[in-house]
Amino acid sequence: MKRVVILINALSPVPTPDEEDVLVQAESVEGALYELGYESQRIFVSLNLEKAAKELRAAQPDFVFNLFESVENTGKFIYFAPVLLEHLKIPYSGSDSERIYITSNKVLTKKFLSEAGLPTAQWTDNPKELKKEITYIAKPVWEDASVGITNECIMKGEPEIVEAFLKKFNNRPYFFEEYIDGREFNISVLGGNKGPEVLPAAEMMFNNYPPEKPKIMGYEAKWDEDTFEYHNTMRRFGVEEEEPELAAKLRQICIDCWNLMKLKGYVRVDIRVDAAGNPKILEINANPCISPDAGFFVASERAGYSYKQMIERILEDVGKM
């Protein structure tokens, strides 16, 4: 039986819900690997990479399933795990360290998209370039899972408002993206021997939101079960049947992102569609959540894949360069 290590991040002493979710992912992946005939064990990675390297060498895995997301509750170091695995010459799931680094740095991603001519919301990482008449959403440069995104992140580009925000939230770097008051789609792309497959597009529906409330996928909507946002934000499928022209645009954008970034395994692309029907790429997540209740598996299931089949497709990309 082949040996697999499931690599996950060491949790902080009081883990947040988005941190704890990696344990749900690990348990689900373990079950699928067992069904596929693999023996697995978990290794937790902290900033002590020497310890992790020692444990990996001792485990002698045939490959690693990489679920590593953060260190000490920051996503800035998400590329550490694939760098370590490349140094140890151990094959692993998902995209390589360079792609993980680029896509986890949202400003760098924006630059790649802009240079390639792919449509993305206007942005800047220089507060002095903001325009007073435009509404922006402030986003953490490094974080995923909507960490650091709340209603307070929506603001006009007025210097005093921006300055007050940055002073209040100085624990992480932010950049500013033009807020598109439109439709949001989270689209999953599954790799494998057949090449990238764009799964059914999930549109995020902001039900019962009052007109003045920003329609965003913030932290509360994803993780805080006690909030209005959590209970009134949900995904909906059907754009392929109802709006085939828009669905074709969304699909092509996802394929273009996959090819531009040279991605592997499994990816999610978040897109906003403005009032004129123009899609704008918000971000690319090269290491999305694959918990059974997360959007990626829900889309996979919609496409006809069981959890085991989804993992099997991801494994087909292991070791590919």
CATH number of the domain bearing residue 43: 3.40.50.20
Q: Is the pLDDT of residue 259 over 80?
A: yes
Contact call for residues 274 and 199 (beta carbons, < 8 A): no
pLDDT tens digits, 61-85 = 999 999 999 887 778 889 999 999 9
DSSP code of 89?
Answer: T
Q: What mean pLDDT value characterizes the chain?
A: 92
In this structure, the answer to whether residues 25 and 86 fall within a common structural domain is yes
Cα(15)–Cα(151) distance, integer angstroms: 23
Residue 85, domain member (yes or no) = yes
Q: State pTM to two decimals.
A: 0.93
Residue 206, domain member (yes or no) = no
216 pLDDT band, cuts 50/70/90, is: confident
220 pLDDT band, cuts 50/70/90, is: confident
Give the CATH number of the domain where residue 273 resides.
3.30.470.20
Number of domains in the chain: 3
pLDDT tens digits, 272-283 = 999 999 999 999
In this structure, the answer to whether residues 170 and 275 fall within a common structural domain is no
Residue 222, domain member (yes or no) = no
In this structure, the answer to whether residues 254 and 110 fall within a common structural domain is yes
In this structure, the answer to whether residues 138 and 263 fall within a common structural domain is no
Residue span of the structural domain in which 60 resides: 2-92
In this structure, the answer to whether residues 46 and 29 fall within a common structural domain is yes
- Burial (CB count <10 Å: 0-12, 13-18, 19+), residue 321: exposed
Q: Work out the percent of the chain whose per-residue pLDDT is above 70.
A: 98
Cα(62)–Cα(172) distance, integer angstroms: 37
Contact call for residues 107 and 175 (beta carbons, < 8 A): yes
